Amino acid sequence: MFFHIYRFSRFRLFLCFLLCTFFIFSACTPNSFYSSSISDDDTNISNSVNIQSNLEESHGLKIYFFDVGQGDSALFISPDNNTMLIDAGDIETQYLLLEKLENLGIKQIDVLIATHPHSDHIGGMQTIIENFKVNTIYMPDIVHTSKIYLDLLDSISNKNIPVYEAKNNTRFQLGQIVECEFLAPCATYEDLNNSSVVTRIIYGDTSFLMTGDAEAACEADILANHNSPSLKSTLLKIGHHGSDSSTSEAFLDVVSPEYAVISCGIDNSYGHPHTEVLERLAARNILTFRTDKLGDIYLFSDGQNLSFSVPGEIPQTEAENMLYVYITDTGKTYHKEDCSFLSKSKHKISLQEAKNNGYIACKRCFNN
C-alpha cells in the first residue's frame, strides 16, 4: 500500500485515514473525474496577483505557470473545465498563490500533484487543501519527515482526500479530452529531486512535459524506459529551476521542445538558471519563458498551436556577448578577468575556443 505513514510517529492520527484510503484504492480507479471546477467569473510576484491576457481564446487547454519565487506551481484547465495543479510553491508564497487561484475563479482542484516533498514545491499545498475542494492527490511513495510534509499529510487525512501513488506508466484523464501520463519516478533514489513525479500532458497535437526537480539520473531512467515518440513534447518545464544538474543534452534532444519554461526567483542565491542550461536551450533555438523575468506566464493551446500572454526569447547568456574569457592551467571553467576564482596562471582565450575544449561557465562570474 502507498504511503508508509506508519513509519512516522503519527501512526494513530493516520490509522483511520489509511483504512479508508485502502478501500478507496481498491474500489476506485484514477480515471474518475468531476464536475466543472471553474466559476463563470473569470506577474510579478512582488506586485501583482492578476493575470491579464489578450489571447484570442476558443475551445482549448489553459495553462498558468505561476510566479512563486524560487518555487514551482502550474495550473492546467481542461476544455471541459477540470483543473490540475502541479506543486504549490513555498510556504512564503502560499497566500499569494491562493489569491491568484481565487482571482481566476477556481472553486476546486480536481487533481493535485505533489512532485516531491521539498518545501519549494509543497510549501503552499496545505493552504490549497484547506481552501479548495480537492478531489484527488498524486504523490510519489517517499518517506520524509520535514514538518511541512507531515503537516501536509495531516491536512490530507483531515479532509479524507484519496491519494494515489504517482509512478511510471500511470495514465489518467483530466476531464474527457486531456490525457496525462506519469513517466517517473521509475526507480528508487536516495535523492528527493530524482524522485520527482514527471508528468506528460497531451491535448490534441500539443504536449507538455512537467519535470519537477528531476535531475540527470532520473532523466536517464526515463530515456531507458520510454521510446522517443512518447517523450517528444511541445513544451518542457525545465527541471530543478534551471540547475545544470537537470536538462541533460541527451534528454533535451529526445524531448525536442519548441518552448521551455523556467520557474525561478529573481536574483536567487542558487544562480538559477545556470548558464550551461541556457546555452543548451540557445543551441537548439528553444523559445524560453522565465518567471523571474516575466512573472506569471499564461498560455493557451487550441490542440494544434500554443499562444502566450508574454513574449519569450531564445536565451542569450552574458558570456555569449563576450569575445574572450579566461581559463586556468588546471580548472575546467571559463571566467571573467576579475573573477576571484582565477589564479595567477590565468590565460586569455576566445569564448568559442573555450567551449570547443569543453570548458563551462563559472557560476560566480556568469549568473544569468
* pLDDT tens digits for range 218-274: 999 999 999 999 999 999 999 999 999 999 999 999 999 999 999 999 999 999 999
* pLDDT tens digits for range 280-314: 999 899 999 999 999 999 999 999 999 999 999 99
- Cβ atoms of 337 and 317 closer than 8 Å: no
Q: Which pLDDT belongs to residue 321?
A: 55
**H or E element, residue 128:** helix 125-131
37, pLDDT greater than 70: no
CA atoms within 13 A on the CB side of 166: 27
Report the C-alpha gap between 252 and 281 in whole angstroms: 8
1, pLDDT greater than 90: no
**H or E element, residue 209:** strand 206-210
Mean pLDDT of 303-330: 81
Q: Which pLDDT belongs to residue 47?
A: 42
Q: Which residues contact 175 (CB under 8 A, 6 or more apart)?
A: 33, 78, 79, 80, 81, 82, 110
Say which CATH topology domain 5-38+59-316 has: Metallo-beta-lactamase; Chain A (3.60.15)
The chain-wide mean pLDDT, for the chain, equals: 85
> What stretch(es) of the chain map to CATH 3.60.15.10?
5-38+59-316
- Cβ atoms of 252 and 235 closer than 8 Å: no
Mean pLDDT of 275-283: 91
Task: Read off the pLDDT band of 9 (50, 70, 90).
Answer: very low
User: Strands 74-77 and 83-86, how do they pair?
Assistant: antiparallel
Mean pLDDT of 185-193: 94
